[in-house]
Structure 1
Amino acid sequence: MPDHTLAAPLAGCIAERFGLGRVLSCQQIPQGLMNPNWRMTTTTGSYAIKQLHDRPAETVRDVHQVLPRLAEHGIPVPLPRTTTQGDTVLGLNGQWYSASDWLPGTHLHGHDLTMTACAQLGELIGRLHDALASVLPEAPERLLDRPTGVGEARARLENYARAASSAGDNFDELARREIRQRHALLDRVADRQPPAGEIGPAGWTHGDLQPLNILIDPSTAQVSAILDWDRLETRGYAAEIVRTATIWFTDTGTGALDLDRIAAFIHGYRTRRSISDEQLLDASQRRWWHLLTGTWQLRLHYEQHDRGCDHLLFSDGRLLRWWLTRTEAVNTALTASTAPR
């Protein structure tokens, strides 16, 4: 993990500009993939400090205006602190920072949740989609989706295979093997490429509802906060639901999906919002195709020299291969209309 130590003078300046009091301690939070985060304890309390790497300050500032309105709808969100100048983002030494109160809860994984908690998580995301539709401008009901084509996917994989061949550490060896496996899968399922076209229903979505972005009170299994709103955007609702389910309920070591927990999660969402089997099945196909053709971890590694997401290349590959040998069972779980017994 890269060292993003927050030097004492800088921490003190951030605390002063946000009106947080005198700094007593400032510890980097080890979880997280894109933006460095710290827990800052001061004479007035504990706060979450984020350095904005993944989105421009203007985008984050716009998102901050939405969060208080979501809180009014009962959605658990972190409320941004404002600086002494009345802004929710702070620029210092060419970097941008935001601050919010430190919220209770911990990051759990899908296997930590009971069936009831899985359903409650799905129901909460349904309420979230309702709340976003209420507080944001009207969104298009359908969006154009153009999946990556087989030829384009092969070209990207071949490009990164050459990059991996010119280096020689353990990642490069594993990457070459993963790329070979992706090529073989493309040969097998090329005729199952999803068609380009409009998907729906669409609307405002969080965009990254993975475990590191959700705090849960372990004593009650209730969600205490939905974090990191930098990817707030219009998308297909089914796409967000399927992506969330297949991230939360995957064994990253084996790639196996917990189909009963996925079914409970989908049932919970459907108690709140209507979504058809056809829409969920279409999103399922587009999700595994995206896993098959996606090369963003290789781009980060070889083009941006960022190793923070290296492990996701291989966990995505394990999930993909497990999924494609059990497609019918996965689709049954992703279209659950009743809670599993």
Structure 2
Amino acid sequence: MSPAASASVAPGPPSKLAALGLIYAWGALHDITYLPTGLMTRNWRIVTDAGVHALKELRDASPSTARRNLRVLARLIDLGVPGCRPRMTRNGDSVAEIDQTGFMMTSWLDGHHLRGRDLTLDQAHELGRVIARLHDSLRHLGTTEGLPAPPEQLRAQVTETEAAVAKADHYLAAAEAGNTPFDTQVTEILHRRKLLINKVADERPRTHVPAGPHGWIHGDLQHRNILWAPTVGHDHNILRVAGILDWDRIRIRPFGEELVRTATIQFGSERGALDLVRINAFTRGYRTILPLDDNEVTDAVERLWWKRLTDYWHLDFHYDRGDTSCDDLFLSGEETLHWWTNRRDEVKQAFTSCRFSSPMTDSHDLGSRVGGSAMVTRIDGRGA
């Protein structure tokens, strides 16, 4: 189900809204609006005497983890990372717990969520720099905000061919037992996926130790979690990164993994094509701050390609959890997987070249300007 479609089943305000008002001491409530753009979260824009905030019901993180992550976020904002500052309860807590349900609030930022092709090449370059500065800031926070030190050597699971085929068979049986259009599509896709896995089995990464530096990362950088807005002192028609949102998934990973994952999500399309020119600008921006070498970037590209080929998390949600919110992501991801597989060398070149141009990719460098064609939504309430 697409984010827009989720609005048809939008939940009402939290049942404990009055209690939350007392806990956060926000005074009178003037307006509350459910934000439908979050795929797996429940969020509201809330207007009170205390101002405008994003209110979030915790689902992807425990209250203790959320408290740690919000401490990290507040410190990162102090260091200059763009974000939405947490609002504390009247007792100085960043999380409110009511009847075993956790809530958090952050400040509200007006702005735009821009997909990859709505960014100019300069903006793609800037986004890479912002994310590299984020990684560098997390690296230098150390253990001061409760983040354990990363291990000296990081291991990353590489799915064996046999395990990937067996998992495909598990979901293939579930799809063949269904009778919806989605089941039919999944059946066709998984038959093709099994053939592809066996065809390229010899090209899976051979080591469980990723190349390059690793550390704490954001964990879910994509257009819904990046807010663009005019910045003070600059041309108000030009949008720049104003906030990085949704800090539920902070984790230890190779920096190259988040670089490549972010690029392929941000600069992908519904038809499966990756915008390699913008990916190149984005990666070059990142590497001006954190200079990963070509081998480290290539290793991250190949590892993510194999992970996309052998991972079925969307189907876990659909068949094992009864959650259809990510069905569209599975279908669009399949298009990207086949496009990528047919152009692996070109994709690696886009991530490692000093400059890249492709006749298959329109530079579309018209710019993201206020009033342009980019979809103007608002921060989806996942401000932390």
What interval of TM-score do these two structures reach, taking the shorter chain for normalisation? Answer: over 0.9
* 1:254 counterpart SS class: coil
Q: Is the 8 A contact 2:213 2:255 kept in 1?
A: yes
Asked if 1:187 corresponds to 2:198, the answer is yes
Q: Is the 8 A contact 1:203 1:237 kept in 2?
A: yes
TM-score by length of 1: 0.95
> In 2, distance between residues paired with 1:183 and 1:334?
28
Asked if 1:62 corresponds to 2:73, the answer is no
> In 1, distance between residues paired with 2:244 and 2:54?
14
Asked if 1:293 corresponds to 2:310, the answer is yes
> In 1, distance between residues paired with 2:100 and 2:215?
34
| Superposition deviation, residue 308 in structure 1 | 0.8
- Matched with 1:229 is 247
| Structure 1 residues 237 and 29: alpha-carbon distance in aligned structure 2, compared to 1, 3 A threshold | same
- Matched with 1:124 is 130
Question: Where does 1:1-341 land on structure 2 (aligned, <5 Å)?
Answer: 1=6, 2-7=9-14, 10-137=16-143, 138-199=149-210, 200-217=212-229, 219-251=237-269, 253-338=270-355
> In 2, distance between residues paired with 1:323 and 1:228?
28
Q: Which amino acid aligns with 2:59?
A: H
Could you list the runs of 5+ residues in structure 2 that have no partner in the other structure? 1-5, 144-148, 231-236, 358-362, 364-384
> In 2, distance between residues paired with 1:191 and 1:315?
26
> In 2, distance between residues paired with 1:154 and 1:206?
30
> In 2, distance between residues paired with 1:87 and 1:41?
20
What is the aligned-residue identity percentage?
38
TM-score by length of 2: 0.85
Which structure is richer in relative contact order (CA contacts within 8 A, separation 6 or more)?
2
* 2:104 counterpart SS class: strand
> In 2, distance between residues paired with 1:51 and 1:303?
23
> In 2, distance between residues paired with 1:174 and 1:339?
35
> In 1, distance between residues paired with 2:64 and 2:108?
23
> In 2, distance between residues paired with 1:144 and 1:227?
27
* 2:129 counterpart SS class: helix
| Superposition deviation, residue 13 in structure 1 | 2.5
| Superposition deviation, residue 25 in structure 1 | 1.3
1:170-219 CA distance string (max 9 Å, x none): 11111111111211211221111112321231111111111111111164
Q: Which amino acid aligns with 1:3?
A: A
Q: Is the 8 A contact 1:89 1:96 kept in 2?
A: yes
1:236-292 CA distance string (max 9 Å, x none): 0111100110000001x2100001000000110111111011011111111111111
1:50-79 CA distance string (max 9 Å, x none): 111111111111111111211121101211
Structure 1 segments of 4+ aligned residues over 4 angstroms from their partners: 338-341
Q: Is the 8 A contact 1:24 1:41 kept in 2?
A: yes
| Structure 1 residues 314 and 202: alpha-carbon distance in aligned structure 2, compared to 1, 3 A threshold | same
| Structure 1 residues 213 and 21: alpha-carbon distance in aligned structure 2, compared to 1, 3 A threshold | same
| Superposition deviation, residue 141 in structure 1 | 4.6
